[in-house]
Amino acid sequence: MRSIRNNETPGHPLTSQRQLLLSLMRDTGEHMDAKELYQRALTNGASISLATVYRCLHLFKELGLVDEIWLGQTRCYYEIKKSARHQHLVCRGCGKVIEFESPLISKLTHKLQHEKGFKVTKAELHFEGYCQQCQHKDN
C-alpha cells in the first residue's frame, strides 16, 4: 500500500484536509460514503467542501489507499484498503454494512480460473437484507 507522505508521493502533499479524512476513515473503521465522511469532517471542525471530499477520495483511490465499493446501484462506499479479502452484508433498513469472510469465495474464484482459463483480478459480492436491529423494529 502506498503512503501519501510528501516524500513518497510527489505532487500529492499531505494537506490537513487529506490527513483529517484519512484519520476519520482509519479511526472509525466503517464504510462511509462521501457525504458521511463530509459530515464527520464538519463535526470535527474542519473547513472543507463536499467537492474537496470527493477529490480526496478519488486521489486516495488512485494511490491505492482506499477501496471504492458499490453496494447496490446507488450507493458508493469507501473504506481503508485491507489486505484480507472480504465481502459485505448491507442492511436495506438502516444502511449498516457488515463485513464477512468466506473461504467459499476463494474456492469459487480458484475453480473459475482453472476451469475457464480466466484470471480473476477482483471479485465483489454483497448481500442485501435486514440487520437484527431492523428485523426487530418490524416486530
Q: What is the pTM of this model?
A: 0.64
Give the model's pLDDT for residue 1.
Answer: 39
84-139 is a CATH 2.170.120.12 domain:
no
Distance CA 78, CA 62 (A): 13
Fold classified for 1-83: Arc Repressor Mutant, subunit A (1.10.10)
Domains of the chain, residue spans: 1-83, 84-139
The size of the chain, in residues, is 139
Task: Write out the chain's pLDDT in tens, 139 residues.
Answer: 344 544 345 577 788 899 999 999 988 877 888 999 999 999 998 899 999 999 999 999 888 888 887 776 666 777 777 766 778 888 888 888 888 888 888 899 899 999 999 998 877 788 889 999 999 886 6
Distance CA 135, CA 130 (A): 6
